[in-house]
């Protein structure tokens, strides 16, 4: 079993099984799925989030492989993605502890504990709350998100669950620029460079989840400009196939979610 822990968990877990400690520590269960649970923990006056992976099972492993998809076996992908993004200057939660046991992949247990970023308010919440005349704030968030996603892809990371609900929005001092924090990176992939296909999937997910955010055409150009780090016109001319794929992804998600009766970006 490989365990890495920083204060206060290195001390609290001395002589303890971290998996058992997390499972019995109480706290508020934020998300409960068959293969993982996310719990909010208060430890020595600080707030942390513990995500425990319980193994995907043989059936899900075979189904994923049959669909040419590699299952998420443990927390390692999220830990490595967070480390890569922090090096690139992208705001992500701080990992304070993580571990993985030595079981076979399909029943391997693992966990990652991150420090609370101070809010659970997402960019989807912000977008729905902004009045139509809040152009300056909408413009600032659009640019900040474009820079963050551009830096993520530039660092060789694609998210695979890239929606506004997976961007947290901590409170900032008056006049300070927005600081989007990218979260839920357990499905992230890391390469030397992100292929266009996976960039389009991330960007198309964002475009879909922003459909009820009251964005103007100019706002979309601002996002492209911030994402590409140059003029929007140059970016659109340089990679027309990327932006066509982004729009196709948005339309595909809209059709799929409409059939299911689900909300945009949820």
How far is Cα 221 from Cα 172, in angstroms, rounded to an integer?
Answer: 25
Structure tokens of 192? 């030397």
Residue whose structure tokens are 């964005």: 215
Q: Nearest to residue 163, comparing CAs of 114, 213, 89, 113?
A: 213
- Max CA distance (Å), the chain: 59
Q: Which of 17, 101, 125, 161 is catalytic?
A: 161
Is the C-alpha dihedral spanning 130, 252, 85, 96 positive or negative?
positive
Residue whose structure tokens are 């992500």: 92
Residue whose structure tokens are 């055409």: 217
How far is Cα 253 from Cα 184, in angstroms, rounded to an integer?
Answer: 19
Burial 236-263 (b: 16+ CB within 10 A, else e): eeebeebbebbeebbeebeeebeeeeee
User: Does the active-site annotation cover 161?
Assistant: yes
| Catalytic residue positions, numbered | 161
């Amino acid at each position: 079993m490989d365990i890495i822990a920083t204060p206060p968990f290195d001390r609290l877990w001395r002589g303890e099984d971290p998996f058992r400690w997390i499972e019995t520590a109480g706290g508020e269960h934020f998300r409960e799925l068959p293969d993982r649970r996310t719990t909010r923990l208060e430890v020595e006056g600080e707030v942390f989030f513990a995500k425990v992976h319980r193994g995907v099972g043989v059936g899900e492993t075979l189904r994923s492989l049959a669909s040419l998809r590699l299952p998420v076996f443990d927390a390692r992908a999220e830990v490595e993605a967070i480390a890569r993004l922090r090096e690139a200057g992208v705001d992500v939660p701080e990992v304070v502890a993580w571990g993985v046991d030595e079981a076979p992949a399909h029943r391997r247990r693992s966990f990652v504990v991150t420090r609370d970023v101070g809010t659970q308010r997402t960019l989807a919440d912000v977008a729905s709350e902004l009045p139509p005349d809040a152009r300056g704030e909408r413009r600032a968030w659009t640019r900040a998100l474009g820079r963050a996603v551009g830096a993520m892809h530039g660092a060789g990371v694609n998210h695979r669950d890239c929606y506004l609900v997976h961007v947290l929005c901590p409170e900032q001092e008056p006049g300070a620029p927005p600081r989007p924090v990218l979260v839920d990176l357990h499905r992230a992939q890391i390469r030397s460079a992100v292929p266009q296909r996976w960039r389009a999937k991330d960007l198309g997910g964002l475009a879909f989840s922003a459909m009820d955010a009251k964005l103007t055409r100019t706002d979309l150009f601002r996002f492209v400009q911030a994402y590409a780090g140059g003029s929007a016109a140059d970016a659109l001319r340089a990679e027309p196939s990327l932006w066509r794929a982004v729009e196709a992804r948005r339309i595909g998600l809209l059709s799929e979610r409409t059939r299911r009766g689900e909300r945009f970006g949820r």
